[in-house]
Amino acid sequence: MPSWVDGQPLEWLPVKDRGLAYGDGLFETIAVNGGNPALLERHLTRLGEGCARLQIDLDLALVRAELLAFSRELGDGVAKLIVTRGDGLRGYAPPQPGLPRRILQGSGKPAYPAGNAELGVRLFPCATRLAEQPLLAGIKHLNRLEQVLARAEWQDAEHAEGLMLDVSGRVIEGVYSNLFLVKDGVLLTPDLARCGVAGVMRAELLAQAQAQGIRCDVRDIGVDALLQADEVFLCNSLYGVWPVRALQRHRWSVGPLTRKLQLIARDLLDS
């Protein structure tokens, strides 16, 4: 599978890269079908918002051109785009002027079990909590140690994803997915103003649902509200939508709104 660094085929990085030293950067994980990157505009929009937040001066037009060329070479699979602040000396102070580094890595499509989408998945209740940091909330920055710790909590095949709460006990997301609830016909998803990743599939499903007249609400959600939901599902930009069928002893059925949005997500990723 191909790997590019700053637009050139390469598989090594300088040891002074601040992404390695401090996690000083961002990343996007993009499904590629027939040489076409799915949800490209939403990925680039989130990347641009993250760069603005971290004050990384990135040429998004150049990134777009490289992603399209890389995707054509990859054909089918997953393109992971990493943007770091580039090289720096010892110390936290960002280099002035900075020279951001662009890294593209290709891999094959993940082989998720078909039952995850059709029958639904069981959630593992992660003990690891997400810290609250509004300055980083929503963006997909490189600091993912909370997710690493959470994912290390289970090794069995029974659980396909983990449920993550914040330090105040609010429901936030899966380890690598966003979470939705359906209650009385209303589509609900947690507010990510304090922590969590604002996924591109999450944004697209909210927009699609609103366009179809489905009432949507982004708000704080507690565990009790989760357990009282009529439907629960997960989403991300690689697998689309997975219904949630169980969390410990609690069970949910796969509902009609979950199936409707699942089809929308599948079309988005297959186009």
What amino acid positions are annotated as catalytic residues?
29, 140, 173
In whole angstroms, give the CA distance from residue 83 to residue 70: 15
Domains of the chain with bracketed CATH: 3-107 (3.30.470.10), 114-270 (3.20.10.10)
Residue 103, helix vs strand vs coil = strand
pLDDT level of residue 19 (50, 70, 90 thresholds): very high
Is residue 190 predicted with pLDDT exceeding 90? yes
Size of the chain in residues: 271
- Helix axis angle for 200-211 and 40-54, nearest 10°, is 120
Pick from 230, 254, 240: nearest CA to 204: 240
In whole angstroms, give the CA distance from residue 250 to residue 87: 49
Give strand pairing partners of 125: 163
User: What is the reported pTM?
Assistant: 0.94
Helix (H) or strand (E) holding 33: strand 25-33
pLDDT level of residue 21 (50, 70, 90 thresholds): very high
pLDDT of residue 84: 97
- pLDDT: is 12 or 191 the higher one? 191
